[in-house]
Chain A
Amino acid sequence: MTVLADLTFSALALSAVYFLAASGLSLIYGLMDVLNFAHGLFMTLGAYAAWDLTTHLASGLGAPTIFALGVGASIIAGAVVAGLTELLLIRPLYGRPISQILVTIGLDLAAVGLLLGGFGSNSLSLPVPLWFFEATHWGALNLPNADFVALAAGIVVLVGLEWFLRRTRYGIIIRAGVENRDMVRALGVDVGRAFTLVFVLGGAMAGLAGLLNSVVFNGDLVSPLQGDGLLIFAFIVVVIGGLGSIRGSAVAALLVGVVQDFSNYYLSSHPGMAEIGNLSVVLLLAVVLEWRPRGLFGGTI
């Protein structure tokens, strides 16, 4: 029973990180038809920005403050780089969706190459408050604090995003644009600004996802290729949830996190099944697509 509860909790934390990574990707795709390969880069840069800032701050500030600043750095780095990507690389290629995908692939290759050159292929260690490694005891349950943080971040972002999409003018523009971009333009709305905005938002969430991924699942290590690994799962979550749907991303993230974590726990110790967690996620994708080619929530946001 406690194993089940512990496991569910860690699956939820994993789902939260997937959601942070996938929701921006899904919004960007839904609004602009751009499959953003540079999203993995935004995640990696978020983690590196946090590493860079936190290792250069005076330790007198105290670990929690330093870490909070690191969180801010990861969000800002992701948002700024994503915004620049949209303005400088995506915008000149409007109307050419394949070229837009290709340019994000090129950016990812080039920037990861630079990171490899500048920081080396070895992982760097993030300074993280000790509190993260401790666990909160609830009766017989042992819930790691790091998982709490990931889960809380996921919930806050989900609620905030829903609020933004439903209550603000730009949120309405984005939801309408996912449905019919041309008609939004024909009403006199400059959709281009919404394009930049979804990149900035998606980049911010990706930066945070990259940092949390390091802290919660990578033993506080930051590496140049971490984002690209996470990106594959974010893609899978987006396709399962339905391209362009935030709620779909949330549900799919839960599904993927649970399937991956449970199959890992129960099956990976069998010989030749060390990767069963990852494989079962791909299997889940195939099953969902056979049943619903447009994903669980395809077409709604």
Chain B
Amino acid sequence: MSAAVELTDVHVSLGGSHVLQGVSLAAPEGEVLALLGRNGVGKTTTLRALMGLVPHTGSVRVLGQDVSRWPAHRVARLGVAYVPEDRDVFSALTVAENLRLAEQVAAPDYDAVYELFPELRERARQRAGTLSGGQQQMVAVARALLNRWPLLVVDEPSKGLAPRLVSELTDVLARVSATTTMLLVEQNLAVVRRLARHIVVLDHGAVVHQGPVADLDDEDLMRQLLGVSA
């Protein structure tokens, strides 16, 4: 089985601190890989390096191409949809404009998106900055699904959402994962259990554990790696 994403010895320095210290991981095609770790260990930075949003060394291969030196827009156009950690919807733009900006293919799949998030159709003309946190997350996910791209990179989709919304969103992501490779950063282990097949754990900017999602049941291991009891 080939890897949709392959990072080899990726290093990143930000503001004078060595944030990623040689991250190597592979996300198998057609599956969901969860990237876990305590706060501040470098999960978001790993995704940003993959997207070409931070300067880095080491090799990044995405969907069969070496994208190590590519600008972010070329990486994305290869077929990588990205939902960033804090949603980053454009608050001055309307919902419709946010979606329009994300259109990159000839026939963006609005039907599917509105079927998953009917609320967005009603709020198309509302400014995204005035939406609730949950609605903003819907916009961010909708943006990422519009082009039906083969790889979805999602950073903490459940962060700050009410439990009901978390399960709705997890349903959506589960449906998407049937057809899409996914690299998922998530702190909510219930969500991870539902979606992921494999996990990778980061600590201090390096991979410290990889294995099947069943490893989450090893309480001692998880307490040691994540500082939580799973």
Contact = CB atoms under 8 A, between A and B. Distances in A.
Interface of A: 169, 172-173, 175-176, 178-180, 182-191, 300-301
A186 B82 contact: yes
B215 interface: no
Determine the main DSSP class of A at the interface with B: helix
Nearest to A185: B72
B97 interface: yes
A190 B73 CA distance: 6
A191 B72 CA distance: 10
A300 B129 CA distance: 11
A271 to B, nearest CB: 49
Chain A CB count within 10 A is highest, among B53, B72, B147, for: B72
A4 to B, nearest CB: 37
B148 interface: no
A189 B73 contact: yes
Given A176-B101, A188-B102, 12 more contacts: A172-B93, A172-B101, A173-B101, A179-B91, A179-B93, A180-B88, A182-B53, A186-B53, A186-B73, A186-B76, A188-B73, A188-B104
B90 interface: yes
Contacts of B90: 175-176, 179-180, 183
A180 B90 CA distance: 7
Given A180-B88, A185-B53, A172 B72 contact: no
A183 B86 CA distance: 11
Nearest to A300: B92
Nearest to B54: A182
A301 B92 contact: yes
A113 to B, nearest CB: 36
Contacts of B102: 187-188
Interface of B: 51-53, 71-73, 76-77, 82, 84, 88, 90-93, 97-98, 100-102, 104, 143, 147
Contacts of B97: 172, 175-176
Contacts of B88: 180, 183
Contacts of B52: 185
A169, A184, A186, A189: most-surrounded residue (chain B CB, <10 A): A186
16 contacts: A169-B101, A172-B100, A175-B92, A175-B97, A176-B98, A176-B101, A178-B92, A180-B90, A183-B90, A185-B76, A186-B51, A186-B72, A186-B73, A187-B82, A188-B76, A189-B104
Nearest to B153: A186
A48 B67 CA distance: 47
A241 to B, nearest CB: 15
A192 to B, nearest CB: 8
A173 B71 CA distance: 17
Contacts of A178: 92
- Per CB-CB distance, the 8 closest pairs between chain A and chain B, nearest first, are A188-B76, A185-B72, A176-B90, A188-B77, A183-B88, A188-B104, A185-B73, A186-B82
Contacts of B92: 175-176, 178-179, 300-301
A129 to B, nearest CB: 42
Contacts of A186: 51, 53, 72-73, 76, 82, 84
A187 B84 contact: no
Nearest to B82: A186
Nearest to A301: B92
Contacts of B104: 187-189
Contacts of A300: 92
B90 to A, nearest CB: 4
A187 to B, nearest CB: 5
Contacts of A182: 53, 72
